[in-house]
Amino acid sequence: MPPHGARELRAVRDETVARLAAAGVPDPEVDAELLIGHVLGLSRGGVQAQLVMGAELGEADAAALEPLVARRAAREPLQHLTGRAAFRSLELAVGPGVFVPRPETEQVVQLAIDALRATAEPEPIAVDLGSGSGAIALAMATEVPHARVWAVENSPEAFPWTRRNVEEVDAPNLELVFDDLANALPALDGRAAVVISNPPYVPAGEVPADPEVHLHDPEAALYGGVDGLDVIRVISHRAAGLLHPGGMLVLEHAETQSAPIAALLAADGWRAIAHHRDFTMRDRATTAVR
C-alpha cells in the first residue's frame, strides 16, 4: 500500500494530462511530465522512468504540483512556471518581461553559427540585436568559442534576464550592453562578420491566438508596427553599418514576410538575399550579405 496521502504517479500524470488537454494546452503530455519533473527535481526522462517503475507521488509533492497545474491550465507559459527554457544546449532563466525562446529560433541561429565557423577570421565578431533572454548570443558564444559576441538589449524589463543568463553561462567571449538598437556599438562599425536578430515582427493588428503569447510575452518583443517591419528597418540600417564587406545579416520573421523583407533589404543595398525554411517548410529566416 502507498504511504498515507501518497498517490500512484501514473494516475496523477494521467489526470494532469486530461486537465491540460481540456484547457487547450497544445502538448498536454509533455507539459504534464515536465511539471511533475519540476516538482520532483527530475528530467522528463526521469519522470517516465518513475512511471514505468510504478512510483508514487507523496502528499507534499502533490500539494506543490496542484497550483502549477492550475496556472498552466489557465495558459500561463510552462517556462514561467519552471523558470527555465531549453535552447539548443543551454538552460536559460526566463519569466515575465522577457520573450521565451522558441524551438524554431534554434534553426535560425544555426545560420549565424555556420557563417561564423566558415569565416577565415581568427576572431570573427557577431552581434545579436535585441537579445532578450540572451539565447541567440549565448548559443553563438558557446558553440563558436573563437568568436567574439556582443548581445544588445534595449528593454528595461528584459535586460535583467539577459544579464542573469549571461552571468550564469559565463562565456568569456561574450559582452552584454544595454543600448538603443539604432545606434548600438559604434566602435564595431565595419568590423562584424555576422549580425543576427529575432526582432518583434507581428503586425500591430494581428494579435497572436495563443494566450501564452498575447497575455504573457512582452508586447515590445512581439509587435513591429503596422506592417510588423518597423524594427527590421532599424536593424537593416544598423547592421549595414556594423558589418564588414561580405558580412552576413540573419533575420527571423513570420512565414508571410519573406517578400516584403526582401524588398526592404534590396532597397537598402543588401546583396545575396535568401530565404530559409524551418522543419515545417515555412519561410522562417532571411539572410543577406553586406
Residue 281 amino acid letter: M
43 and 153, same domain (yes or no): no
pLDDT at residue 6 greater than cutoff 90: no
What's the structural domain count of the chain? Answer: 2
215 and 255, same domain (yes or no): yes
106 and 132, same domain (yes or no): yes
List, for residues 37-71, the tens digit of each pLDDT value.
999 999 999 999 999 999 999 999 999 999 999 99
With b for 16 or more beta-carbon neighbours within 10 A and e for fewer, the 12-31 pattern comes to bbeebbebbbeeebeebeeb
Q: Tell me, rounded to whole angstroms, the distance of Cα 120 from its chain centroid.
A: 29
| Cα distance between residue 135 and residue 165, in whole Å | 8
Q: Is residue 159 part of a domain?
A: yes
**What is the mean pLDDT of the segment spanning 87-108?**
96
122 and 257, same domain (yes or no): yes
CATH number, domain with residue 136: 3.40.50.150
Q: Is residue 81 part of a domain?
A: no
- The confidence band for 1, taking pLDDT boundaries of 50, 70 and 90, is very low
124 and 27, same domain (yes or no): no
103 and 206, same domain (yes or no): yes
Residue where a domain stops, chosen among 74, 106, 133? 74
Q: Is residue 83 part of a domain?
A: no
Q: Which pLDDT score is estimated for 3?
A: 52
Q: Is residue 82 part of a domain?
A: no
Q: Which pLDDT score is estimated for 4?
A: 56
31 and 70, same domain (yes or no): yes
What length is written for the chain? 290
Residue where a domain stops, chosen among 23, 50, 74? 74
Q: Is residue 102 part of a domain?
A: yes
256 and 168, same domain (yes or no): yes
98 and 151, same domain (yes or no): yes
Mean of the per-residue pLDDT values of the chain:
96
pTM given for the model: 0.92
65 and 127, same domain (yes or no): no
Give me the domain span that covers residue 188: 88-289
Portion of the chain with pLDDT greater than 70, in percent: 99
177 and 284, same domain (yes or no): yes
List, for residues 215-237, the tens digit of each pLDDT value.
999 999 999 999 999 999 999 99
List, for residues 166-219, the tens digit of each pLDDT value.
999 999 999 999 999 999 999 999 999 999 999 999 999 899 999 999 999 999
| Cα distance between residue 38 and residue 21, in whole Å | 19
- The confidence band for 279, taking pLDDT boundaries of 50, 70 and 90, is confident
DSSP code string of 215-245: TTS-HHHHB-STTS-HHHHHHHHHHHHHEEE
145 and 122, same domain (yes or no): yes
| CB 125 within 8 Å of CB 148 | yes
List, for residues 233-271, the tens digit of each pLDDT value.
999 999 999 999 999 999 999 999 999 999 999 999 999
